[in-house]
Chain A
């Protein structure tokens, strides 16, 4: 899952980026509104953490422009401005959640998980696909109750496939959602991760559709 963190305070930005990376997300950061606008418009993010008081272009304007351009990824506003009229303005600009500073990292993570899950049409924190379960809170996957040992890239690929289980995910789509911007994106490495995952999962769970991509089958 790929997340954009927009925060102009460098230390907080770093903290967010580290914590979210450690939780298994591919994190991109932007420190001003214009960068955020471009990144959010070009790249497919699964969620955005957006500060409102930004240099160059304020957060609300960025959000409104994304929504006007049809970008509908979940956006969590993280701001020091906690007045209710400001919250109403944020939600009405198209935000999906609103969290005020200072905040608990755990709460931010919980809210992000919930946003991503809801965007994927999931009701619970635990995603289930046949014998495979994935707990988004603990970032752990199990097959028939047996914990899987996964690298962070493997986990990201699996989590993305789990959120879109039953649907076809192209290789480029996968690579876009598991790598941050600054990484070399080689869709061949996706094949490597998928190959490793196949070995750890029950046979035939990850289906390859030639020329189209991969599909996680829960009825296998």
Chain B
């Protein structure tokens, strides 16, 4: 299955796209409006100059048009300033066309070459053309009919032109665009930053949930803890309910399996006893089959335990009370052997990360084996090595040949048929240990016999303090 893209990425990408789109559109609209506004203002300015020009234009005594007053804008006097005016005489019935009849000082030697145009009365036309220096100009034109006062019939049609360099328009637009770009970039940056903060902060509870789940998986806790936001809490509660139900089912299944096994054991004992009292083929058959049945029960009971243990999370228990309880049992059960059982007194409080019953099951089998084989002494020592709990069980018995050791970890193998036991011990311990990610090793003991080293995941003390205040305090012996 392809993983869905990360929630954070999705939220961030979505927000980013939205921010870029809205800011972009805003910038485009603002820029457009500003340009439009400037353009209108430009046009209005040109129109003002045109009106001023029209107002000051009159026919002098020689019948020639002339500008009576200097126009107010000083740019019209400065050469090549970018603001120009010009008066052309249009061709009419009486007069030939004469371009650049009058022109502003700013035009200096040049003249504006305006394409021919037919202008209606009072119309303003706008054009683009090249100026005296090749610059791009915007111009408006208007026609004006002047009548000589002295000669009624000599009417002149003049074309009044005012032009301005487009740069005068482009510069403020450029400036505005720069400012706008900066302002909008700042805004976008701020928004993106806010979005990132929001996404990270908003998704933090999910990270916390993930950490909790990791701890759950690592067996550091049995249920999800902590308080979560209202959107996540129902999820956590549901998950906890499922976990609790699961643990309950496992426990029930395990106890059912146990009950069944134990219910069968008593009739088996009866049959075995009855068979032992007789000497016949049938009796022998019963005896051997009872022993086989017993092995099956023990094996499957142990497998059920292992299967159930895999489901249980978040258990911790102290090592020392578990060992001490077992040593009390060994002292009694093997009282006839007069063994010295010694527990190495390590000051450190060692904690096993797992279930107390499993720990006792593993150590019980190992200790029982050691006590069966020991001559006079069994020593138990435990230490913590690199996050692992290593428990050494030494005996001064005959030991086991190196070649024979791997066989002992296989089901049904027994070192010696004479010593009572189901022959499952070491194999089951090995299975249980590997289930917890631990391991079992058979080594030479300094006492002369066998050293069984059981390494299991260690828990932290602090966690146990928390665990033991809860109802599930373990290692009750």
Contacts and interface: CB of A to CB of B under 8 A. Distances in A.
A88 B269 contact: no
B328 A88 contact: yes
Contacts of B274: 11, 15
Contact of B266 (A12, A82, A88, A96): A12
A97 B333 CA distance: 5
B360 interface: yes
Contact of A88 (B262, B263, B329, B420): B329
B332 A15 contact: no
A53 to B, nearest CB: 7
A195 B432 CA distance: 62
A80 B335 contact: no
A84 B360 contact: yes
A118 B335 contact: yes
Interface stretch (A98-106, A148-156, A172-180): A98-106
A15 B335 contact: no
B95 interface: no
B360 A88 contact: yes
B49 to A, nearest CB: 107
Contacts of A92: 325, 328, 477
B290 A91 contact: no
A182 interface: no
A80 B364 contact: no
A83 interface: yes
B329 A91 contact: yes
Interface centre among B262, B276, B290, B298 (most CB of A within 10 A): B262
Interface string A99-117: 0111111010000001000
Interface residues of B, number: 36
A198 interface: no
B440 to A, nearest CB: 16
B288 to A, nearest CB: 12
B328 A91 contact: yes
B392 interface: no
B265 A101 contact: yes
Given A85-B360, A105-B276, A114-B336, A12 B269 contact: yes
Contacts, number: 95
Given A80-B265, A97-B335, A98-B333, A85 B270 contact: no
Given A80-B262, A88-B360, A97-B335, A107 B270 contact: no
Interface in B323-382: 325-326, 328-329, 332-333, 335-336, 356-357, 360-361, 363-365
B273 interface: yes
Interface residues of A, number: 31
A103 B477 contact: no
B477 A89 contact: yes
A83 B357 contact: yes
B71 interface: no
Contacts of A12: 266, 269-270, 273
Contacts of A98: 329, 332-333
A110 B357 CA distance: 29
Contacts of A104: 272, 276, 420
Contacts of B326: 84, 88
A101 B258 CA distance: 13
Contacts of A71: none
A87 interface: yes
B283 interface: no
B361 A91 contact: no
> Top 9 A-B pairs ranked by shortest CB distance?
A84-B364, A80-B265, A80-B262, A88-B325, A102-B269, A101-B269, A102-B268, A84-B360, A101-B265
